[in-house]
Amino acid sequence: MQHLKSLFVFLLVIISLGLFISTPSSIKAQSDYILGPEDVLEIIVWGHSDLRREMPISLEGRISFPLIGEVKAAGKTTQQLEKDIAKKLADGYIIHPQVTITVSEYRSQKFFIIGEVKSQGKYDLAPETTVLMAISIGGGMTEKAAPGRTTIRREENGKKKEFRVTMDILVQPNDTIIVPESFF
């Protein structure tokens, strides 16, 4: 009985450490994310609830924000856009504005999944999406799937390449994940 209790505590500690360690990479992923058209942003100006907005980035890569008008958003990180908006708000509108921006919907970057998955198609790519997560987004594999032969078609440095997935790697923008049919 004591052995089971010790094992339970050990597993609880390991799981807790795993969650603790994985959190910074998720934060880093969002902070490094480059905004693009159709991403949906939540913008908060602390102490000014009337300026709280949720809005998509236009196809031209811009947002329109109260008091300051249009601001270029595409091609920037959330931190860069926060600074731009705060600077414009400080220029005659708000004293020391504190702006926080989060991406509520990632829509500007896509990936594709074809073959033996339940729902083939084009999907929005969120940061830290792995191949297994992408397959899950596609509804999972069918009974005919050959998971050990899954490949990714990717363009790097202007050259197209295709490689077999040997571990759960991160999906990159415009990747095509191919889940082939089993021979048997």
Assigned CATH topology for domain 110-179: Outer membrane lipoprotein wza fold like (3.10.560)
Condensed to tens digits (0 to 9), the pLDDT of residues 15-69 reads 433 433 333 333 334 568 899 999 999 999 999 999 999 999 999 999 999 999 9
What Å distances lie between residue 26 and 19, 20, 44, 70, 73, CA to CA? 11, 11, 21, 29, 21
Q: What is the pTM of this model?
A: 0.71
Architecture (CATH level 2) of domain 40-105: 2-Layer Sandwich (3.30)
Sign of CA dihedral 84, 86, 88, 90: negative
Instruction: Flag the least confident range among 19-23, 123-127, 159-163, 172-176.
Output: 19-23
